[in-house]
Amino acid sequence: MKRSATLVLTALALAAALGAGYWFGQRHAPATQGDAASTAAPASTARKLLYYRNPMGLPDTSPVPKRDPMGMDYIAVYEGDDTSEGGEGQIRISPENVQKLGVRTVAAESRVLERSVRALGRIEIDERRVVAIAPRFEGWVERLLVNATGQPVARGQLLFEAYSPELVSAQREYAIAARGAESLAQGDAAAQTSMRALADASLARLKNWEVSDAQIKELTKQGDARRMLGFRSPVAGVVMEKKALQGMRFMPGDTLFQIADLSSVWAIVDVNEQDIAAVQTGRKAVITLSAYPGKSFEGTVSYIYPTLSAETRTVPVRVELANPQGLLKPGLFASMVLGTSQGAAVVNVPTSAVIDSGTRQIVLVQRGEGRFESRNVKLGASAGEFVEVLEGVQAGEPVVVSANFLLDAESNLKAAVQGLSAAPAASASPAASPVASGGVGHHGKGRIDAIDPASGELTLTHEPIASLKWPAMTMDFVLANSALAKSLKAGDAVQFDFVERKPGEWVVTKIAPEASAKATPAADPHAGH
């Protein structure tokens, strides 16, 4: 009896264990399925491959991996990385690609631009400090005291003594008239007046011949005419030119000496045409010379010449320099540095941020993480590493200063890709038809004259193209994809969309028989025009 009870209890325990196991298994089975589903979920959220694009930016895509003629692998484009996303002039790149490209941005700032104008020139004589010694009568050089070019002379220093018969006669005439006027001081008034007039005329002639007052007084005192007249330097300077020779005859107006005062000189520098607007009179300039390394001279811009040299496209600018020690010698080459400022704060960006195509200037502005916008800008003055932006960029906006040429290539690629095959369809089937060219493409109607699927070339006689202002004509095109030539033959009337891949090369991105094109409405080919 006791043994039977034990068996019963054992059976009940076994049944309970089996039931608990069944219940536990039923309870956790759904959870296991849920875990499997959750494990599979990340795989389903992986980025979807759209297509492969040309690595050189050409408008060519492929649904499968391939290489270009140079052996470079086509680049995979995933959903979310498509450069066709964004508004007009915008490009979107994944953060990973931004990092790989080495893209760097800085904020446009508003600051006062300090710039330096540099120019080359030479030291020249101050033309206002040059005098010529030219007697006003005929004579001979009797005695020459300064007889070398380059010799320094002091003010009032005797240069030479000259003999002139005319001068001797004029002295005697004046001496006689002066004595006669004294002797008639108590005589007839009319005679006295006549003699005084004669004396005054003789005195005026002597003064016109540059006879000094001291010499005239001595002549009046002694009463005898001097045979020789001395010529003295009117300024302190250096003899720049000497034509006088001992015993030579000279005529009225002959320049015997030319003396220059070099205590102040000019630096005539040639400023480039694009810098002349920054040069103003009265500004301080620093002059350096290779003759004196490490030494600089400060001067003042005194004059900007009114003419421009057509050969060098430069404008001469005059800088006045003090030369008390005589170091600045005429003829020395000089280098000028002139500091200028705009005077007011202006919006500016680094010069490396500007892409100049020759016809327009472009700056890439970051609009968000991985998003960039291409903007046309109007530039002003440049100062070293910065350039003023008059239009197109506001202060505080981040602009690309590194790898901007690569981003600009991506931006141009976006326009081309819009005219090629649709990315999702291309990834599904190589023969998928491309989408309409969008805002960068053109639409036309015509007849196929010749088609070569192998080379991807075809000849079309098309009707007028309104978006390009083309008349009706026959011309050659290139197919974007060889699959476009399927089921087409010479003589077919077709409608087609096309883009310009490079100057003179027109790529057909969509083509279909005119009947099927009418049956299947297409996107407006002139959208954005």
Domain residue ranges of the chain, discontinuous segments joined by +: 1-46, 90-113+344-417, 135-254, 264-341, 427-519
Distance CA 67, CA 52 (A): 10
What pLDDT does residue 62 have?
83
Residue, of 238 and 372, whose pLDDT is higher = 238
CATH architecture of the domain formed by 427-519: Beta Barrel (2.40)
Q: How far apart are CA 243 and CA 146, in angstroms?
A: 11
Quote the pLDDT of residue 409: 62
Residues 6+ apart with CB under 8 A from 23: none
* Sequence letter at residue 401: V
**In the predicted structure, residue 122 carries a pLDDT above the cut 90:** yes
User: Smallest Cα–Cα separation from 154: which of 141, 145, 163?
Assistant: 145
Query: pTM, whole model, 2 decimals?
Result: 0.49
Mean pLDDT, residues 121-133 taken together? 94
- How does 453-467 read in b/e, with b if 16+ C-beta sit within 10 Å? eeebebbbebeebee
What is residue 33's predicted lDDT score, i.e. its pLDDT? 39
CATH of 90-113+344-417 among 3.90.480.20, 2.40.420.20, 3.30.830.10, 3.30.930.10: 2.40.420.20
Task: Say which range, 29-43, 278-292, 330-344, 467-481, has the weakest mean pLDDT.
Answer: 29-43
Three-state SS at 254 = coil
| CATH architecture of the region 264-341 | Beta Barrel (2.40)
Q: From CA 333, how far away is CA 270, in angstroms rounded?
A: 12
Q: Contact at 8 Å (CB) between 479 and 497?
A: no
- Is residue 455 helix, strand or coil? coil
Identify the residue with better confidence: 440 or 364: 364
Q: What whole-number percentage of the chain has pLDDT above 90?
A: 28
pLDDT at residue 11 above 60? no
Task: Average the pLDDT over 426-440 and give the result.
Answer: 37
**Mean pLDDT of the 60-79 span:** 78
156-169 pLDDT, tens digit per residue, is: 999 999 998 888 88
Mean pLDDT is highest, among 57-71, 310-324, 453-467, for 310-324
Task: Report which of 345, 365, 341, 344 is spatially closest to residue 353, judged by C-alpha positions.
Answer: 365
- Mean pLDDT across the chain: 77
pLDDT of residue 242: 94
* DSSP reduced 3-state for 86: coil
